Amino acid sequence: MNTAPESLQSVFDGAFAGISQVREAFTPKLTPREVGIITNVSTGIARVSGLPSVGFEELVKFPGDVFGIAFNVDEDEIGVVLLGEYADLHAGNEVERTGRVMDVAVGDGLLGRVIDPLGRPLDGKGPVDSSERLPIERPAAPIMDRAPVTVPLQTGLIVADALIPIGRGQRELILGDRQTGKTAIAIDTILNQRDKNVLCVYCAIGRRASAVAKVAANLRKKGGMDYTVVVVAEGNDAPGLSYIAPYAATSIAEHFMETGRDVLIVYDDLTQHAQAYRELSLLLRRPPGREAFPGDIFYIHSRMLERATHLSKERGGGSLTALPIIETEAQNISAYIPTNLISITDGQIYLSPSLFELGVLPAVDVGKSVSRVGGKAQRAAYRAVAGDLKLAYAQFEELETFARFGARLDDDTRKSIEHGRRIRACLKQSELTPVSVPAQIAVLLALTANLFDPVPLDRMTDANRAVQEAAAKISPEISARFETADKLSDEDRKAIIKIACQALAPFQPKPEAKPEAEQKTGKKSESAAKEGNKSEPKPDKSTPESETKPEQRTPPESKAEPKFERKPDAPTKPGSETEPETKVASKEKP
């Protein structure tokens, strides 16, 4: 009975002795924590004092889990770009340093998701599955780590793949006035990457929520969301989110590129990005320049697009292809921001509002569009069939403009214009319907062989569709050569042209119908002439032969174009043409 209390006492004594040893060994550490105070809150920015050791572009935390980026680091205060809802922030609130720069979640868990630039989900599918983060601002790959752009990125658009080829690792600008189909070209390109081992990142900057929802719905409907990440900064969000959105999207794409994959990124659009940066810079009292943009407006786009490249095999061989979109005003491509992007990128696709109004979709102006990589990023099969197509189309546009003045055209010019109209009809394409490589080659070969020329213009759409559907009959051996660097042989061309001829046979007018009608009319005219000769009285022997010959030798061509009939050089004698008839008639009366 007495041993139990003693043993319990010993347990307690041992426990308290251990606690006292831990307490004596513990030394409290004081961790310094910098806390600043908000002095002023404006539209999208805040001025903070009391953070002397903060670094440039360091992430700072505000009350309510609102973050910001230290943008202006002055001697007395810092200017912070806010990255979220700032309605509840007031002067006097505390601000903490985080000791890190702005970063974003990356990885395969983002595929099929819609997120904001901070990595927060917007599609209601729960938190994003990611275990790795990358800074949004990263240096571009060095020159020695890059490889030439040689592999094409098929857009599924005949006008782009044939005339303005884009390579994997290239930066191709898409510009045009508003509502001309710029986003449609980018979405068609994303949809065409299905089953081509290319991942896509679509970055919406300052766009309406309804427009972004429509894009996401189209991608889900066509199966494009399986390999796409959508990064969204809506128009009613803070300007800071619109500013960091393309950088965050580029870091997400770079992670895939560094693992050896091919990636396509679309910036829609950088006009809103430049305007958001101008707004932030003016609010932070940075000196304005041309069109009130700050002096480093060129640099914010160049350092971002410089990250799009094709890595060498030692770095994994991945590629990042960029399709930035720019909106022009009144077709002014020489404005400040468009010229900046034109000089940064490797080519541009210009969309003309006049072509859009005429129903030529996609409304690509071939004369103002160019790819500075060009044929090096194009398959040999395309180069063979589309080599002279751009020149012929450009000549057609010039001749069409000239023909509008009512000029008299010769037969060759008429044929060039008719052929150019067939080219334009074949380059038309509906939205969300990318065309496969064999179908494009079949259409282009049929164009170069002038197989579409006899087809009426009102039936060109059906004829073009028939050739594309008939391309499925091309043998697998020939289709396999489309994807390689091998050129098409003469046998391959003949086989494809034969298939195209069979598809176009129902659309061509029958050549036998017109000659038969002409033969019938010719027989009728001959019989009428014979009857007329029988009824007419024979001229009298006294009438000279010179009086009857002019009537028999009058050519029928003079009736078709009486205006250009030349008068005979020698003056006609009286009674040579009209008098024989009167004389004959006077002899008949008695």
Tens of pLDDT along 528-559? 444 444 444 444 444 444 444 444 444 444 44
Phi, psi (rounded to 5 degrees) for 550: -60, -35
Q: Give the pLDDT confidence of 278-290 residue by residue, as tens digits.
A: 999 999 999 999 9
CB 453 within 8 A of CB 419: yes
Quick one: average pLDDT of 383-394? Answer: 84
Asked if residue 519 belongs to a domain, the reply is no
Whole-number pLDDT of residue 386: 82
Question: Which residue's entry shows tokens 């969000």?
Answer: 237
Asked if residue 540 belongs to a domain, the reply is no
Per-residue pLDDT band for 222 (boundaries 50, 70, 90) equals very high
Quick one: average pLDDT of 429-445? Answer: 94
Whole-number pLDDT of residue 5: 65
Q: Give the pLDDT confidence of 400-426 residue by residue, as tens digits.
A: 888 888 778 888 889 999 999 999 999
Q: Give the pLDDT confidence of 230-276 residue by residue, as tens digits.
A: 999 999 999 999 999 999 999 999 999 999 999 999 999 999 999 99
Asked if residue 288 belongs to a domain, the reply is yes
Residue where a domain terminates, one of 359, 378, 397: 378
User: Are 409 and 323 contained in the same domain?
Assistant: no
Residue where a domain terminates, one of 100, 125, 146: 100
User: Are 210 and 171 contained in the same domain?
Assistant: yes
User: Are 323 and 186 contained in the same domain?
Assistant: yes
User: Are 138 and 266 contained in the same domain?
Assistant: yes
Distance of alpha carbon 421 from alpha carbon 460, whole angstroms: 10
Query: What's the chain's average pLDDT?
Result: 86
Task: Give the total number of structural domains in the chain.
Answer: 3
Least confident of 136-140, 200-204, 431-435, 550-554: 550-554
User: Angle at Cα 552 formed by Cα 550 and Cα 553, nearest 5°?
Assistant: 65
Asked if residue 8 belongs to a domain, the reply is no
Report the percent of the chain where pLDDT is more than 90.
Answer: 68
Asked if residue 394 belongs to a domain, the reply is yes
Asked if residue 4 belongs to a domain, the reply is no
Q: Could you tell me the CATH number of the domain that includes residue 54? A: 2.40.30.20
User: Are 391 and 371 contained in the same domain?
Assistant: no
CB 474 within 8 A of CB 496: yes
Whole-number pLDDT of residue 486: 78
Instruction: Round the CA-based radius of gyration of the chain to a whole number and report it.
Output: 38
Asked if residue 13 belongs to a domain, the reply is no
Q: Give the pLDDT confidence of 349-364 residue by residue, as tens digits.
A: 999 999 999 999 999 9
Whole-number pLDDT of residue 381: 87
Per-residue pLDDT band for 527 (boundaries 50, 70, 90) equals low
Whole-number pLDDT of residue 522: 52
Whole-number pLDDT of residue 147: 96
Per-residue pLDDT band for 526 (boundaries 50, 70, 90) equals low
Say whether pLDDT at 190 is over 70. yes
Whole-number pLDDT of residue 387: 75
User: Are 399 and 447 contained in the same domain?
Assistant: yes
**Nearest 10 degrees: Cα torsion 275, 278, 280, 285:** -160
User: Are 235 and 363 contained in the same domain?
Assistant: yes
User: Are 188 and 227 contained in the same domain?
Assistant: yes
Whole-number pLDDT of residue 71: 94
Distances (CA, A) of 9 to 5, 6, 12: 6, 5, 5
Say whether pLDDT at 160 is over 60. yes
User: Angle at Cα 326 formed by Cα 148 and Cα 277, nearest 5°?
Assistant: 100
Q: Which residue has the higher pLDDT, 519 or 392?
A: 392
User: Are 413 and 487 contained in the same domain?
Assistant: yes
Residue where a domain terminates, one of 347, 378, 409: 378
Q: What is the DSSP letter of 429?
A: -
pTM greater than the 0.75 cutoff: yes
Quick one: average pLDDT of 145-152? Answer: 95
Distances (CA, A) of 127 to 114, 122, 134, 493: 11, 10, 18, 54
CA dihedral over 537, 541, 542, 547, signed as positive or negative? positive
Say whether pLDDT at 525 is over 70. no
Which residues constitute the domain of residue 236?
105-378
88-92, 244-248, 446-450: which is most confident: 244-248
Q: What is the DSSP letter of 384?
A: H
Whole-number pLDDT of residue 1: 44
Whole-number pLDDT of residue 16: 86
Asked if residue 320 belongs to a domain, the reply is yes
User: Are 310 and 367 contained in the same domain?
Assistant: yes
Q: Could you tell me the CATH number of the domain that includes residue 448? A: 1.20.150.20
User: Are 363 and 392 contained in the same domain?
Assistant: no
User: Are 136 and 187 contained in the same domain?
Assistant: yes
Say whether pLDDT at 196 is over 90. yes
Distance of alpha carbon 437 from alpha carbon 336, whole angstroms: 37
Q: Give the pLDDT confidence of 557-586 residue by residue, as tens digits.
A: 444 444 444 444 444 444 444 444 434 344
Q: Which residue has the higher pLDDT, 23 or 109?
A: 109
CB 101 within 8 A of CB 244: no
Quick one: average pLDDT of 480-506? Answer: 89
Q: Which residues are annotated as catalytic? A: 372
Name the token pair of 158. 């005949």
